[in-house]
Amino acid sequence: MLPFRGGTMDKNRCMVCAKEGAFEGGVCDLCKAIIRGEALEGQHQIKKDADRSLHKEGLDLEKKTHG
Look up the pTM and report it: 0.56
User: Residue 47: which domain range?
Assistant: 8-57
Number of domains in the chain: 1
Q: Does residue 35 lie in a domain region?
A: yes
Residue 51 resides in a domain:
yes
**Contact residues for 54 (Cβ-Cβ < 8 A; gap 6+):** 60, 61
pLDDT tens for the chain, 67 residues long, are 555 444 444 578 999 999 998 888 899 999 999 999 999 999 999 999 999 998 888 876 666 666 5
Alpha-carbon distance of 18 to 12, in angstroms, equals: 9
